[in-house]
């Protein structure tokens, strides 16, 4: 089978293009070569968290991988049959567990296999979705497409030490479904806050501010705060909701330089008033590129990650897509190719 070549400097030019490409390679059985990996970053090439995700996926689909080392700007990924597996992995740093799961969950489920994974690393770290966002927002959106997984957060892992532990089980997808997510209609929101060695007074102040902003916008808020042990002090803040026509969320990691945490996360949540939020939008593309129907969703802005995933998915699966401008955002239509599945 001819190897598909991907320019890793396309779009945002970061790790996203490698994650999406190897995921689709594993699902479709098509070998890929990615060049110029993270070319646009200050430190080019694969970082440890990218390495771990590709390494685990390689085990799952019995792949032959070339160029898999820290700093590598080119890899070749030759997948074979995906296997049912039970694995224990350690990122070894505060590398993002949610970003690794972005690779593994669709690859395993859409290959109609099962994975049980216990992994140690960063659960809630900068430049990554939080574990709560992955569980409650990504999990809800994926379930509507027929992709189901369970997630238990045994221990939080903040930057810089990480050390968090998550147990995940991914279930075989029986049927992959199209989606239509156009506009949020619910006015009920869930607020989750996990913290460790952060002032409880600060947490309550920020939580109250988030509630004030949401209640002013006529939202009924259900709040849950929990102090959970971790190797480093930290705080993970999530606001989310879903209804028949939307799945949206907004998360934020508290650091010493973070200001107005409650205001920031609440404002971002209110901005995402269409069918999906901007961060979820790019995560939908890999599975939707394999649905033999037209899916449609609306989002308030187009991110570089979304553009990158549309490019990669169309190159590997042959899916078609279009982006339309709306008065208050954008509409994305994508028609997948089911025969791209192995």
Give the DSSP H/E element, type plus range, for residue 323. strand 320-326
The H or E element that residue 104 is part of is helix 97-110
Q: What is the CA radius of gyration of the chain?
A: 19
31 C-beta neighbours (distance < 10 Å), count: 16
Residues in the chain: 342
For 176, left (φ over 0), alpha (ψ -120 to 50), or beta? beta
Residue pair 109/29 in contact by the 8 Å Cβ criterion: no
Annotated active-site residue in 187, 222, 293, 305: 305
Rounded to the nearest angstrom, the gap between the alpha carbon of residue 177 and the centroid of all alpha carbons in its chain is 19
Q: Is 293 a catalytic residue?
A: no
Using CB atoms within 10 Å of the CB of residue 32, give its burial: 0 to 12 exposed, 13 to 18 middle, 19+ buried: buried
First to last CA, the chain: 13
With CA atoms as reference, report the closest residue to 19 among 62, 57, 63.
57
* Residue whose entry in the numeric block shows the structure tokens 């802005």: 301
Looking at the annotation, which residues are catalytic? 305
């Amino acid at each position: 089978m001819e190897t598909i070549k991907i320019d890793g400097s396309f779009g945002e030019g970061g790790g996203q293009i490698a994650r999406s490409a190897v995921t689709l390679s594993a699902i479709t059985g098509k070998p890929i070569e990615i060049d110029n990996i993270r070319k646009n970053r200050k430190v080019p090439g694969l970082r440890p968290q990218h390495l771990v995700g590709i390494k685990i996926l390689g085990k799952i689909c019995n792949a032959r991988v070339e160029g898999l080392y820290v700093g590598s700007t080119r890899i070749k990924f030759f997948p074979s049959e995906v296997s049912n597996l039970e694995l224990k992995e350690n990122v070894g740093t505060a590398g993002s567990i949610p970003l690794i799961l972005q690779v593994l969950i669709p690859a395993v489920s859409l290959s109609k296999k099962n994975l049980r994974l216990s992994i140690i690393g960063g659960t809630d770290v900068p430049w990554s979705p939080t574990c709560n966002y992955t569980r409650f927002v990504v999990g809800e959106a994926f379930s509507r497409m027929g992709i189901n997984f369970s997630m238990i957060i045994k221990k939080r892992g903040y930057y810089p030490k990480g050390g968090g532990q998550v147990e995940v089980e991914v279930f075989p997808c029986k049927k992959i479904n199209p989606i239509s997510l156009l506009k949020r209609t619910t006015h009920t929101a869930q607020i989750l806050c996990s913290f460790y060695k952060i002032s409880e007074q600060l947490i309550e102040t920020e939580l109250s501010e988030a509630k004030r902003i949401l209640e002013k916008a006529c939202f009924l808020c259900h709040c849950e705060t929990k102090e959970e042990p971790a190797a480093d002090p930290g705080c993970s803040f999530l606001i989310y909701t879903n209804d028949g026509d939307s799945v949206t969320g907004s998360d934020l990691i508290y650091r010493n330089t973070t200001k107005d945490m409650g205001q920031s996360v609440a404002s971002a949540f209110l901005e995402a008033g269409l069918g999906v939020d901007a961060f979820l939008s790019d995560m939908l593309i890999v599975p939707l590129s394999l649905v033999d129907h037209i899916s449609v969703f609306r989002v308030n802005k187009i991110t570089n990650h979304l553009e990158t995933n549309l490019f990669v998915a169309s190159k590997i699966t042959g899916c078609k897509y279009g982006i339309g401008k709306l008065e208050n955002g954008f509409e994305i239509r994508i028609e997948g190719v089911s025969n791209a599945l192995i």
